[in-house]
Chains A and B, each alone.
Chain A
């Protein structure tokens, strides 16, 4: 095997999966034209791909009756994140510190007829350190807490809340989009389609290229327009109310996120569709390449 064959062989694997740069593909084709062993390898790799595709069993799709359900909020959360566990940990810490302090000052708690007596030998001043706590039922009952009004947020009372909310919404929209892979949609998808363009450039007509660039620029414009629109709606909604319940704000944020997600998906589908158009536009080029 010549050194050029050694260089070409790994590239053949990339070629049979159609993921190789145009100039490299051209170089491979030139080599294949004059090298029978490498042609044999190329055919072998294509045959392997065909064989791999034979494994399309009944289990290709999720068995019927199987439904994946997002778990409940507490079922999957780590134990240390449970509020109960956190509360217990804080309480345990508090009592540990109290116990250690009590031991350090030689604290003593005694039961007496008129209640409980707390004494300490610290500073050798029992008169100052002793305190009597009334027994249960001997002291006056503390006043019952007054029922609290449900928490509401008044727009006027909190300066800058709208700006803060807008910022949070923008951040949240970004995070949601990132979680769905939508923010990354711009660059990778464009790169993906651009990659197709690079491979198929020779067979693409100007109309497809024009359509692609329109779509890519429209994507950013749509995003800006949509987020701006939703923020404006939220702003109007806030302005029209004297007081906005916290739950209302949460609902609005939820609505914004769901709508944003749909918009992202629609755009993604359109880019996929265009990718298919681009692929379909150049079957001859790919066949020749393979």
Chain B
């Protein structure tokens, strides 16, 4: 296949998957600019390794795997060189370290407060549970697809989802600790 043909075909792939991939990366990292960069880098990696893709998994799963690995690297670097958060409340939390989109008091509404609570609760989850919940809730993937991306049994994915949901239900006040 010609180089021109390759690029054209790959651009079609990019057009098809960029929205879904960006949505995942953004929710994982919590920062629009970082998400944009990581999404772009994911496509670059995919393109440069396209010959190595033999179709053992779905192409989308392969793309998600690349993006997830880049996200993890990004978070590891953020943790190694943590940014200082404004009020010092979340220094240990990489999701907050890379993004602080809290509204000013004037902008604050109940809805925004609630969204922040959701984001904070998500950020407090272990990475494995958070990843499963993002892929399931926001990307609408099946358990089988998530298992393929994470290279882990479906039963593990289901277990992570359950524990993640239970923790979120507690953190958001829908369940008491003793109920869990």
Which of the 9-residue segments A40-48, A82-90, A132-140, A220-228 touches chain B? A40-48
* B169, A73: Cβ atoms closer than 8 Å: no
* B32, A76: Cβ atoms closer than 8 Å: no
Cβ contacts A60-88/B at 8 Å (1 or 0 each):
11110010111111011110000000000
Cβ contacts B1-30/A at 8 Å (1 or 0 each):
111011111111110001100110011000
- Contact among A10, A44, A61, A68 for B175, CB-based, below 8 A: A44
Instruction: Select from chain B the residue with minimum beta-carbon distance to A76.
Output: B48
* B47, A45: Cβ atoms closer than 8 Å: no
Residues of chain A contacted by B175 (CB below 8 angstroms): 40-41, 44
Residues of chain A contacted by B165 (CB below 8 angstroms): 13, 16, 45, 48
- Contact among B22, B43, B118 for A55, CB-based, below 8 A: B118
- Contact among A12, A43, A180 for B13, CB-based, below 8 A: A180
Task: Give complex CA distance A179, B54 in Å.
Answer: 7
Residues of chain A contacted by B1 (CB below 8 angstroms): 172, 250, 253-254, 257
* B44, A188: Cβ atoms closer than 8 Å: no
Task: Give complex CA distance A192, B1 in Å.
Answer: 33
Cβ contacts A231-260/B at 8 Å (1 or 0 each):
000000000000000000010011001100
Task: Give complex CA distance A180, B9 in Å.
Answer: 10
Task: Give complex CA distance A3, B12 in Å.
Answer: 52
Known: A19-B142, A49-B137, A62-B36. A181 touches B59 (CB 8 A): yes
Known: A51-B114, A68-B40, A70-B43. A62 touches B18 (CB 8 A): yes
- Contact among B3, B59, B122, B172 for A180, CB-based, below 8 A: B59
Most chain B C-beta atoms within 10 Å of own C-beta, residue among A12, A70, A250, A258: A70
* A261, B54: Cβ atoms closer than 8 Å: no
Q: Let me know if B133 is at the binding interface, CB within 8 A.
A: yes
Q: Separation in Å of the B134 CB from the closest CB of chain A?
A: 9
* A47, B136: Cβ atoms closer than 8 Å: no
- Contact among A10, A70, A261 for B158, CB-based, below 8 A: A10
Q: Separation in Å of the B95 CB from the closest CB of chain A?
A: 12
Q: Let me know if A175 is at the binding interface, CB within 8 A.
A: yes
Within 8 A of A (CB), among B64-115: 101, 111, 114-115
* B54, A48: Cβ atoms closer than 8 Å: no
* B172, A51: Cβ atoms closer than 8 Å: yes
Residues of chain A contacted by B43 (CB below 8 angstroms): 68, 70-71
Residues of chain A contacted by B3 (CB below 8 angstroms): 73
Q: Let me know if A99 is at the binding interface, CB within 8 A.
A: no
Cβ contacts A20-57/B at 8 Å (1 or 0 each):
00000000000000000100110111011101111101
* A61, B137: Cβ atoms closer than 8 Å: no
What's the dominant secondary structure at chain B's contact region? helix
Task: Give complex CA distance A262, B41 in Å.
Answer: 26
Task: Give complex CA distance A44, B177 in Å.
Answer: 13
Cβ contacts A119-132/B at 8 Å (1 or 0 each):
00000000000000
* B6, A13: Cβ atoms closer than 8 Å: no
Q: Separation in Å of the A30 CB from the closest CB of chain B?
A: 20
* B142, A78: Cβ atoms closer than 8 Å: no
Q: Separation in Å of the A186 CB from the closest CB of chain B?
A: 12
Q: Separation in Å of the A10 CB from the closest CB of chain B?
A: 4
* A183, B142: Cβ atoms closer than 8 Å: no
* B142, A192: Cβ atoms closer than 8 Å: yes
* A59, B32: Cβ atoms closer than 8 Å: yes
* A62, B13: Cβ atoms closer than 8 Å: no
* A62, B22: Cβ atoms closer than 8 Å: yes
* A13, B12: Cβ atoms closer than 8 Å: no
* A179, B50: Cβ atoms closer than 8 Å: yes
* A68, B172: Cβ atoms closer than 8 Å: no
Residues of chain A contacted by B13 (CB below 8 angstroms): 70, 179-180
Known A13-B161, A70-B47, A71-B48; 19 more pairs at CB < 8 Å: A9-B162, A12-B162, A19-B142, A41-B175, A48-B165, A51-B114, A62-B18, A68-B14, A68-B39, A70-B11, A72-B7, A179-B13, A180-B13, A181-B59, A188-B58, A188-B145, A192-B142, A254-B5, A257-B1
Question: Could you name 27 residue pairs across A and B whose Cβ atoms are closer than 8 Å?
Answer: A13-B161, A13-B162, A16-B165, A40-B179, A43-B174, A45-B169, A47-B172, A48-B168, A49-B137, A51-B168, A61-B19, A62-B18, A62-B36, A63-B32, A66-B36, A68-B14, A70-B10, A71-B43, A71-B47, A178-B53, A178-B55, A179-B55, A183-B55, A184-B55, A250-B2, A257-B5, A261-B12
